[in-house]
């Protein structure tokens, strides 16, 4: 019988998240440099697009993480697509250095740098940086947002805004849907809710809009990968929101045998009074 895995070491998650943010800002600066001209695009084996910006940003993130926490395995989108997936334990980092490549190619500004630490299946801290929007979201022992340009130094905490997901308004819900991946299942789900407004958005920006109280629900009935969602999920959880699968179980991470694929999920703001969420 195998011995149980040892618990992850004690870490200063606030400090680690600050370091993630610095790395994300650096990667965002490189993305914006490439954003200034038309770069080549090719298809990966799963038919999703990849560009020079994806690969250059991931190289910066991986180098930064190797300096910050070389002992933690890193699961990064482009590395995995090339067959380089590390063995993971109870703690690992998920990276999507350019989430929303289609948004990047459409030049609509809604793409992000995502970095998150997962511990025992839960994204316990993470950052989402939208360099073209000039917005950084941070989640660890609370959630924060700050307006900042790529390459600028990270402002101290007192110059950031604390954010919190809102409780569901009695008048009805504002729903977020994927700009590139809405479908009939999504429409059917939303038809059963008291929706009074809808907004399309790309990449992990949707999680962050929930986290800062601008919307109430984001359903995703389509394929996503763990690196697509972990950082936004971390920010949303830190802001009081939650992410469940359609059966009501909390979205979990570290599904290596499933290729790090997510099931369908629904992200929510804060629950109504008395409602219990799964963690």
* Helix axis angle, 52-68 to 13-35, nearest 10°: 150
Whether the model pTM is above 0.85: yes
Bridge partners of 136, per DSSP, are: 129, 146
In the chain, CATH 3.40.190.80 covers 173-268
Read off the tokens for 261.
């694929």
CA 75 to chain centre: 13
Listed in sequence order, the residues at least 6 apart from 1 whose beta carbon sits closer than 8 Å to its beta carbon are none
- Provide the 8-state DSSP code for 15: H
Q: In the chain, where does the domain assigned CATH 3.30.540.10 lie?
A: 13-162
Question: DSSP secondary-structure letter at 259?
Answer: T
DSSP H/E element including 25? helix 13-35
Distance between CA atoms of 242 and 134, rounded to whole angstroms?
25
Question: In CATH, which of 3.90.380.10, 3.40.50.300, 3.40.1400.10, 3.40.190.80 is domain 173-268?
Answer: 3.40.190.80
Tens place of pLDDT per residue across the chain (279 aa): 344 566 677 789 999 999 999 999 999 999 999 997 777 788 777 768 888 999 999 999 999 999 999 999 999 999 999 999 999 999 999 999 999 998 888 888 999 999 999 999 999 999 999 999 999 999 999 999 999 999 899 999 999 999 999 999 999 999 998 866 677 899 999 999 999 999 999 889 999 999 999 999 999 998 899 999 999 999 999 999 999 998 899 999 999 999 999 999 999 999 876 454 544
The correct CATH number of 13-162 out of 3.40.1160.10, 3.20.20.150, 2.60.40.4070, 3.30.540.10 is 3.30.540.10
Rounded Cα distance between 176 and 206, Å, is: 7
Could you give the CA distance from residue 42 to residue 100 in angstroms, rounded to a whole number?
15
Polymer length in residues for the chain:
279
Please tell me what DSSP assigns to residue 269: S
Closest to 113 in 3D by CA, of 162, 76, 71: 76
DSSP, residue by residue, 188-242: HHHHTS-EEEEEEE-TTHHHHHHHTTS-SEEEE-S--BHHHHHHHHHHHHHTT-E
Return the C-alpha torsion angle 256, 92, 264, 241, nearest 10: 160
């Amino acid at each position: 019988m195998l011995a149980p895995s040892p618990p992850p070491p004690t870490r200063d998650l606030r400090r680690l998240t600050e370091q993630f943010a610095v790395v994300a800002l650096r990667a965002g600066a490189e993305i914006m440099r490439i954003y200034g001209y038309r770069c080549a695009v090719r298809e990966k084996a799963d038919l999703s697009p990849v560009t020079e910006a994806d690969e250059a940003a991931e190289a910066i993130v991986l180098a930064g993480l190797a300096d910050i926490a070389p002992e933690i395995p890193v699961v990064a989108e482009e590395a995995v697509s090339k067959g380089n997936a590390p063995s993971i334990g109870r703690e690992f980092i998920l990276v999507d250095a350019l989430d929303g490549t289609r948004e990047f190619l459409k030049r609509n500004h809604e793409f992000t740098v995502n970095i998150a630490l997962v511990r025992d299946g839960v994204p316990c801290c993470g950052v989402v940086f939208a360099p073209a929007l000039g917005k950084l979201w941070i989640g660890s022992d609370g959630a924060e947002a700050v307006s900042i340009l790529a390459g600028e130094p990270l402002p101290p905490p007192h110059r950031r805004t604390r954010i919190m997901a809102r409780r569901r308004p009695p008048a009805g819900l504002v729903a977020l849907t994927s700009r590139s991946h809405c479908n009939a299942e999504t429409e059917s789900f939303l038809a059963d809710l008291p929706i009074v407004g809808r907004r399309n958005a790309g990449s992990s920006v949707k999680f962050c809009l929930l986290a800062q109280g601008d919307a109430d629900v984001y359903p995703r009935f389509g394929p996503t990968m763990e690196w697509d969602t972990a950082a936004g999920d971390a920010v949303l959880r830190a802001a009081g929101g939650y992410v469940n699968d359609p059966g009501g179980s909390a979205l979990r991470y570290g599904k290596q045998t499933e290729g790090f694929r997510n099931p369908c999920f629904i992200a929510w703001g804060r629950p109504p009074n008395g409602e219990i969420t799964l963690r």
